[in-house]
Amino acid sequence: MARALIIGCGAVATVAIKKCCTCSEVFSEICIASRHRENCEKLAQELRPNTKTVITTAAVDADKAENVSKLIKEYKPDLVMNIALPYQDLAIMDACLECGVNYMDTANYEPENIDDPEWRKVYDKRCKEQGFSAYFDYSWQWAYKEKFEKAGLTALLGSGFDPGVSQAYCAYALKHQFDTIEEIDILDCNGGDHGYKFATNFNPEINLREVSAPGSYWDTDENGKGHWVEIPAMSIKREYVFDEVGKKDMYLLHHEEIESLAQNIPGVKRIRFFMTFGQSYLDHMRCLEDVGMLSTQPIKFQGQEIVPIQFLKALLPDPASLGPRTVGKTNIGCIFKGTKDGKPKTYYLYNVCDHQECYKELGSQAIAYTTGVPAMCGAMMVLTGKWNKPGVHTVEEFDPDPFMEALTKYGLPWKENFNPVLVD
Ligand code: NDP
């Protein structure tokens, strides 16, 4: 019996909220809040007749910690689930600390304004010291570790699929399958087709920023020292045959969980992340980038200030609307190389999810589904005390077993392959 404040009511949050409502014994009360309360209320009205979960709604602009604090003080939740955007992570964490409430999210912090000079100073230093130039990294949220520890509060970071389940898979492999893991390849394949020439499967601004950035991976030199290797965007391409999907081109990307896994998987030497893209997606993205449409820098247009990528978002199909038209499957998982009982071993742990099955069950496509279900399961772990560790933690720092059990129960069972084809 617990009370959760859920900030965000978009594609991912909708799935998480619908799943919370199927589990009223844990989520006995939820409050859905975002800037446009009418969207939260519309969803609440749809769900109220069929759930025991008591649903209220609120309007909140979570860009400001004081707005979130005010709502927390009124609602008094046991956990704040941040399923808005990564821009709000720090403000919501500040509010949780002020009010003494546990926190979770699905993506690590990145600033909305990457031209902010204060942020730039820290960013430039990090690029030089760490060797990767993505706009998002864990340092901002890891800086809250001590404060959360002292307050006796748990902050769970990145409880989606990747980040999220991908790290639970690593923890599971280490706990049950390996003595040491040397290499991890995270493969994210979306074999779905929505019929549009170009659309993004989740928030376009966040998605396009991620995909158009340089790629990078974790590697280890001959002296055993781990370091980042950065490469131009989309410059490492591989072909892979995915179970239940087939052959796809995939590209090496920077991805946030590499950063935490490099710290938390002892002895790991290489971690890479690959995502599949079709040629049409890549051609459109390159063209949009070349003409400046991916810029976050405001420009003056006919006397009005507009941000090109936000204007583009208004033109693109809403990711939440892709559900009815998307057919095909996703296949997301990790291939491990390491040792067990002194012998070399390889192992592939993955999930296959069908877009149309997700749509039939919850009215959403599989990308929102595969993110929203782990968000709900992560929240459940914190609320039931199974994942209770004061501080700021990523998913691989917790026991994977109850989480993976919950994933299976709520729609994301895993598959194993003990002799996988490796990625060269
Ligand atoms: P959407 O754009 O569909 O939804 C975002 C939601 O956030 C909206 O309901 C919006 O409502 C709300 N929001 C935005 N700004 C604010 C604000 N200032 N205050 C309060 N609410 C706000 O995004 P998605 O559902 O596609 O993505 C949600 C999150 O999931 C993102 O952080 C994304 O990066 C992450 N994600 C993680 C994945 C993973 O595997 N880990 C995979 C895919 C996504 P309103 O406009 O009413 O404020």
pLDDT score recorded for residue 323: 86
Nearest to 220 by CA among 265, 267, 253, 274: 267
pLDDT score recorded for residue 330: 97
Residue nearest to atom 10 of ligand 1 (CA): 8
68 lines ligand 1 (CB under 6 A): no
In the numeric block, the tokens 């459940």 are attached to 380
Helix (H) or strand (E) holding 281: helix 279-290
Atom of ligand 1 lying closest to residue 86 CA: 32
**In Å, what is the CA distance from 37 to each residue of 8, 34, 60, 89, 90?**
10, 6, 8, 20, 22
pLDDT score recorded for residue 297: 85
pLDDT score recorded for residue 322: 87
Q: Is 363 left (phi over 0), alpha (psi -120 to 50) or beta?
A: left
Is the Cβ–Cβ distance between 28 and 78 less than 8 Å? no
In the numeric block, the tokens 């896994």 are attached to 261
Give the residue-averaged pLDDT of 4-33: 97
**Span from the CA of 23 to the centroid of ligand 1 (angstroms):** 22
**Span from the CA of 38 to the centroid of ligand 1 (angstroms):** 16
67 lines ligand 1 (CB under 6 A): no
Residue nearest to atom 32 of ligand 1 (CA): 85
Q: Is pLDDT at 36 greater than 90 in this prediction?
A: yes
Tokens of 66: 């004081």
**What is d(CA 365, CA 77) in angstroms, rounded to the nearest whole number?**
29
64 lines ligand 1 (CB under 6 A): no
**Span from the CA of 88 to the centroid of ligand 1 (angstroms):** 9
Q: Is pLDDT at 403 greater than 90 in this prediction?
A: yes
Give the residue-averaged pLDDT of 19-35: 98
Per-residue pLDDT tens over the stretch 248-269: 999 999 999 999 999 999 999 9
389 lines ligand 1 (CB under 6 A): no
Residue nearest to atom 42 of ligand 1 (CA): 371
Q: Which of 85, 209, 371 to mutate to test the pocket of ligand 1 (most atoms within 8 A of CB)?
A: 85
**In Å, what is the CA distance from 339 to each residue of 184, 187, 225, 268?**
13, 21, 20, 11
**Span from the CA of 308 to the centroid of ligand 1 (angstroms):** 19
Residue 115, CA atoms < 13 Å, CB-side half-sphere: 5
**In Å, what is the CA distance from 411 to each residue of 164, 376, 380, 383?**
15, 11, 15, 20
Per-residue pLDDT tens over the stretch 45-56: 999 999 999 999
Amino acid letter, residue 163? P
Give the residue-averaged pLDDT of 92-101: 98
Residue nearest to atom 41 of ligand 1 (CA): 160
Atom of ligand 1 lying closest to residue 370 CA: 40
Per-residue pLDDT tens over the stretch 318-365: 887 888 999 999 999 999 999 999 999 999 999 999 999 999 999 999
Lowest mean pLDDT among 200-214, 327-341, 365-379: 200-214
Tell me the DSSP string of 44-113.
HHHHGGG-SSEEEEEE--TTSHHHHHHHHHHH--SEEEE-S-GGGHHHHHHHHHHHT-EEEESS----S-
Q: Is pLDDT at 101 greater than 90 in this prediction?
A: yes
Q: Is pLDDT at 211 greater than 90 in this prediction?
A: no
**Span from the CA of 10 to the centroid of ligand 1 (angstroms):** 6
186 lines ligand 1 (CB under 6 A): no
163 lines ligand 1 (CB under 6 A): yes
Q: Is pLDDT at 207 greater than 90 in this prediction?
A: no
Is the Cβ–Cβ distance between 60 and 7 less than 8 Å? yes
Q: Is pLDDT at 44 greater than 90 in this prediction?
A: yes
**Span from the CA of 70 to the centroid of ligand 1 (angstroms):** 21
286 lines ligand 1 (CB under 6 A): no
Q: Where does the pLDDT of residue 113 fall: very low under 50, low under 70, confident under 90, or very high at 90 and above?
A: confident
**Span from the CA of 126 to the centroid of ligand 1 (angstroms):** 26
Q: What angle do CA 50, 56, 59 make, to 5 degrees?
A: 135
